Each structure stands twice: as C-alpha cells, then as structure tokens.
C-alpha cells in the first residue's frame, strides 16, 4: 500500500502517521466481518437449508433478521464510538460476531437460527460501514475518502478469501467444525489488534491534527467541543441532502444485499458448489479492484455524482443477466457487478463525510446508516420470496435493476439540496 506525498507520514522517530495503523486494523476487521458475515451469508443459506430441510425463504428471513438487528443497533453504535471511542465497541462486536458464526453451525432448533443471526447482526454492526468509518473519520481530512476506502477494502478480501476458504473448510471439516474454527480464528486475530492499536481515539491524543500534521490546535479544539458536534448532528438531520443519500443507498443496497445473499445459490446450479464458491471469491476480487480504484480517485471527484454512475452501471448488468441467464453471461456480469459493489459499499460514508464533515460523524452516519440497513435488510427475503413466486431469478434481477434506477433518481433529487446548503 503506497502513500503519496502529504498523506500524513511523519518524519523522525514517530514514523508513519498513527491514523494509517487505525486504517490497517479496520481493514483486517472488515476481512472477517464481510467474509463471515455478509458474503458468508450465501454459504449459510445453502448449508442450513440443505442440512435441515428448511425452505430457502425461511433461512433467508433469518438473514433479514441479521441485517435488521444491525440497522437497529447503528445509531447506538455510532453514538457510542463518538462518546467512548471505538475500542470497547469493537471488542464487544468481535465476541458477538464470533458467537453467532459458531452458533450457525450447531443449530438444533429454529429459534437458534434467529438467535445466532441476531448475535451476528450486533457484531456486524460494530464493524460494518458505520463502525469502521466512524473509527477512521477523526484521523483524516485531506485523505478522508482514501482512508475510508482503504479500510473498507478489507471487505473485498473477505469475499475473495473468506468464502472460498469457508467452502473448502466445510468440505474438509463439516459445517459445524468449520464455523467454529472460523470464529476462533477471528477472535485470536482481532482482539489483540483492537486492544493495542485502537487505544487512541483521535490524533489530538497524540498532539497531532488530522492527516498527521503537527498540532496547531484545530483538531484538539474540535475534539473537545461536544456542543459543536450536537449542532452539526442537528443540522445534518434536518437536511434533505442527507436523507436523499439515505434513501438512494437504502433502495440500491436492497437489491445489492439480495444479490449477494443469493449469488452462491444462483451460481451453484450452473457452476457446481466449488465453481460457485470461487465465483463469489472472484467477485470479491473484482470488488477489491473497485475499492482500490475508488481510493485513488475519490478525493478528486464529487462522490455523489460518482455514486450515481456506479448505480447506473449495476442496473445495466442486472438487466443483461435477466435477459441472458447463462453461465457464459454469469461470470462477466458477476465481475462487473462486483467491481461496482466494492465501491457502493464504501461510498455512502464518504458522501456523508464529504458533505457533512467529521464532527459527530458517527452519530450522523449512524442515523443515515440505520435507514440504509433497515431497507437493505429485506434484500435476502425479498429475493427469496420473488424467486419462489417467479420460479427463477431472471425476473428478480430485473426488479433489482429497477431498484438501482430508483437509487439514481433519489441521489439526483438531493443534489440540488446539497448545492442550496453549501450556498
């Protein structure tokens, strides 16, 4: 990972700006969170359904509970990080996510299915886009977009490495033991990293400003101004520009989460279990490339307009697969969609950070993120029910494309409000 001149490197004994260490921890957290949470969900969907004979729609409803739990927790998580710092919040989240992952492999009753995904939802919330973005946001200004994008690049590695590894482990160990070892590995890696690196909440604790510049006191002053943070939060929540972001990403991610959850199920009949697992991994690799491209470009462009373009591309590829549902079409469409997917997951906090600043970011994005996650939580069951009704995924993907088009319109509607606010 190369950092350009002015990226916050500090000469002398201090070495690299501490904020990049925070980015590194968030990167690793994202690997596990998305690999075992979001992308792992498509594997759980199939394994639980096959193992217990439960209908796909029923298991998908548990995944919806996972996302709804996350949505309900986000305002509290964002506010908690603003108040107490990320370390205690993320430490708690690691244990909850691990408990849920270990639990999904040892189900004996239907209620346990929902209990396991509730635990996973709480854990995911602490290390989701909201939690990790709120952890990184206080450390950067000039590189606000790049830092968040690089931290969330770990999500792509979670798909690229986590899902194929999970599928292989299930083949060797069985579902129960594979999920147990996955949970233990996450705890062993993340607990010490979080405890050591996230002990500092913001650069003011090290006598620095954002991006690692020597302290001139603006960041120190901002860190000690809760009234200002409260004012920033209130102004943001009254702005249609913020709610247009929430609405656009909510609709767009409804389709995206649905696709992610059912991706393995869609691909397995065409490519076989191993082929489907590696396609999910390849989609994660495409997402990685998308996030790296985003990290390079995002601090030089309008993130709202950039998002509109990405949603438009996703709409086109979903329509293409709905019209040509073949293995030959599935692979390139999955890769293009994945390239865009990696960017969309990262863009919502960047848009909010750019338009509303760092003060009270956790609380502001926590509220917006709740709306986004609440709507997108229905993606798994939405796709599952529609697939059952239509007897296939072609019409479902066409509906997903319509959702992407609606997201474009929502973001466009807020562009005028953004200009009026800045004026």
Render pLDDT for 153-167 as a digit per residue (tens, 0 to 9).
Answer: 888 788 778 878 888
Do 322 and 395 form a contact (C-beta atoms < 8 A)? yes
Confidence of residue 223 (pLDDT cuts 50, 70, 90): very low
Q: Hey, which residues does 208 pair with through a beta bridge?
A: 214
Average pLDDT of the chain, as a whole number: 80
pLDDT of residue 232: 58
Looking at the 3D structure of the chain, how many domains does it have? 1
Residue 90 in any domain: the answer is yes
Three-state DSSP state, 207: coil
Which residues form the domain of 390?
Answer: 16-202+217-422
Residue 11 in any domain: the answer is no
pLDDT of residue 215: 55
Residue 129 in any domain: the answer is yes
CATH assignment of the domain containing 113: 1.20.1250.20
Three-state DSSP state, 102: helix
Phi, psi of 186 (to 5 degrees): -60, -45
Whether residue 220 is predicted with pLDDT greater than 50 in this model: the reply is no
Residue 143 in any domain: the answer is yes
Residue 9 in any domain: the answer is no
Residue 110 in any domain: the answer is yes
Whether residue 249 is predicted with pLDDT greater than 70 in this model: the reply is yes
Whether residue 303 is predicted with pLDDT greater than 70 in this model: the reply is yes
Do 184 and 374 form a contact (C-beta atoms < 8 A)? no
How does pLDDT run across 325-340, given as a tens digit for each residue?
Answer: 788 888 888 889 888 8
pLDDT of residue 359: 65
Percent of the chain scoring above 90 in pLDDT: 19
Residue 369 in any domain: the answer is yes
Contacts of range 420-423, beta carbons closer than 8 Å, 24 or more positions apart: 421/239, 421/241, 421/355
Whether residue 106 is predicted with pLDDT greater than 80 in this model: the reply is yes
Instruction: Please report the DSSP string for 365-395 in residue order.
Output: HHHHHHHHHHHHTTHHHHHHHHHHHHTSSHH
């Amino acid at each position: 990972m190369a950092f350009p001149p002015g990226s916050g490197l500090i000469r002398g004994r201090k070495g690299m700006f501490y904020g990049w260490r925070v980015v590194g921890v968030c990167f690793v957290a994202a690997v596990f969170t998305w690999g075992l949470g979001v992308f792992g969900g498509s594997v759980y969907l199939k394994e639980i359904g096959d193992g217990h004979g439960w209908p796909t729609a029923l298991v998908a409803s548990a995944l919806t509970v996972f996302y709804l739990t996350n949505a309900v927790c986000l305002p509290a998580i964002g506010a908690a990080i603003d108040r107490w710092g990320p370390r205690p919040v993320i430490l708690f989240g690691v244990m909850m996510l691990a408990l849920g992952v270990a639990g999904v492999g040892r189900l004996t009753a239907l209620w346990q299915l929902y209990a396991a995904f509730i635990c996973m939802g709480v854990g995911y919330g602490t290390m989701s886009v909201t939690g990790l973005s709120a952890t990184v946001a206080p450390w950067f200004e000039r590189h606000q977009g790049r830092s968040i994008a690089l931290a969330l690049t770990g999500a792509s590695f979670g798909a690229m490495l986590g899902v194929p590894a999970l599928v292989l482990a299930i083949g060797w160990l069985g579902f129960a033991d594979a999920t147990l070892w996955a949970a233990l590995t996450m705890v062993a890696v993340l607990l010490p990293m979080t405890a050591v690196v996230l002990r500092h909440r913001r650069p003011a604790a090290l006598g620095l400003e954002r991006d690692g510049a020597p302290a001139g006191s603006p960041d120190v002053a901002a860190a000690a101004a809760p009234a200002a943070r409260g004012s920033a939060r209130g102004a943001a929540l009254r702005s249609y520009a913020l709610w247009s972001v929430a609405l656009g990403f909510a609709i767009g991610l409804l389709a995206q989460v649905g696709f992610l959850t059912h991706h393995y199920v869609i691909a397995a009949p065409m490519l076989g279990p191993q082929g489907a697992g590696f396609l999910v991994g390849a989609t994660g690799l495409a997402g990685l490339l998308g996030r790296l491209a985003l990290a390079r470009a995002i601090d030089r462009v309008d993130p709202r307009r950039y998002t509109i373009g990405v949603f438009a591309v996703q709409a086109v590829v979903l329509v293409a697969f709905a019209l040509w549902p073949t293995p030959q079409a599935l692979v390139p469409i999955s890769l293009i969609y994945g390239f865009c997917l990696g960017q969309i997951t990262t863009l919502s906090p960047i848009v909010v950070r750019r338009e509303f600043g760092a003060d009270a970011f956790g609380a502001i994005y926590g509220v917006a993120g709740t709306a986004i996650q609440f709507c997108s939580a229905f993606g798994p069951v939405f796709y599952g029910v529609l697939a059952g009704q239509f007897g296939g995924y072609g019409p479902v993907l066409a509906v997903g494309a319509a959702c992407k088009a609606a997201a474009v319109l929502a973001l466009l509607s807020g562009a005028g409000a953004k200009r009026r606010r800045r004026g």
